[in-house]
Amino acid sequence: MMLDINGCALNVELLGGEDPAKPLLIAHHGAPGLGSMEEPRAAFGWLADSFRVIIFDARGSGKSADVPPYDHDQWVADIDALREWAGAERFVMAGGSYGGFLSMEYAVRHPERLLALVLRDTAPDATHDNLALENARASDRVDIPEERLARMFDGKVLDNDDFRDLWRELLPLYTFTHDPAAIEAKVASVDYHYATHNAAFSTARETYDVKPHLHRVTCPALVTVGREDWITPVVNSEQIAELLPDAELVIFEESGHSPPLEEPERFQQVVRDFLDRALARA
């Protein structure tokens, strides 16, 4: 369904029914301009048996409208408006990759709203770019010219066709086991919004740094990451887990950037066990 959230038509889906007795979980996708609700559907949609799960395309992504600004203040405000729409005073916030950035941004601004925080393959600031670029250069799966890498990371994509071509070149880096046959299917499945990506990577992310504020987040937190994650390496999740007052870190040894897809049974068990404990405490 399309909802008017802060003046923008957002593509939203509520999984698990409308029973207000079920706790709410809001899951945020990564990759502004590339991502969509399909990623959090796969990562957290299975929790609909015991949660009301909101998945959505953020403004400027997926099927949602292209209504700027595309910045952290606005994306966090949209999360809170979805919480209010669902009628929940407190909820579980979940997000992966750039969605993890926004999950932590929400958590440090509204710590009183959270029952628990679930993070996947993310980072507390933008300094991970240097490690990611080193990993891309060292990989035998890709051979991407420096100019093209720089345009992607610096938010200087030319148009949606350019965005699609750059994404195709980067995709082999994301998985633990390389499957060339899956690349084109993934490329074809995406709605491309190059202006959203450019705003996020050239401007919004430049001031992103939640490290000084993570001590405010006192709810239980689960931090997960794939051992072979190239773009937000394990060291980033270790840093997050050290800075959060009540966090546990789980590393998935046979995953790249997406343990929910590469080790689904273990990921689901880890998340389920964590949420059972966290909500019992709450």
The per-residue DSSP string of 52-76 comes to EEEEEEPTTSTTS---S--SHHHHH
Which pLDDT belongs to residue 190? 97
Place of tokens 């880096």: 173
What pLDDT does residue 216 have? 96
CA 245 to chain centre: 21
pLDDT in the model for residue 181: 86
Pure H helices in 114-233: 128-138, 146-153, 160-170, 180-188, 194-202
- For the chain, which residues make up each domain, given as ranges? 2-127+208-281, 139-201
Q: Which pLDDT band holds residue 206 (cuts at 50, 70, 90)?
A: confident
Compute the radius of gyration of the chain from its Cα atoms. Answer: 18
Using the predicted structure, report yes or no on whether residue 255 has a pLDDT greater than 90: yes
Q: What is the mean pLDDT of residues 238-256?
A: 98
Write the class of the CATH domain 2-127+208-281: alpha beta
pLDDT at 186: 94
Tokens 């897809």 sit at which residue? 261
Span 83-109, average pLDDT = 98
8: region left, alpha or beta (phi > 0 left; psi from -120 to 50 alpha):
beta
The letter for the amino acid at 31 is: A
pLDDT above 90 (res 166): yes
- Contacts of 167 by beta carbon, 8 Å cutoff, 6+ apart: 34, 187, 190, 192
Tens digit of pLDDT for each residue in 1-29? Answer: 999 999 999 999 999 998 989 999 999 99
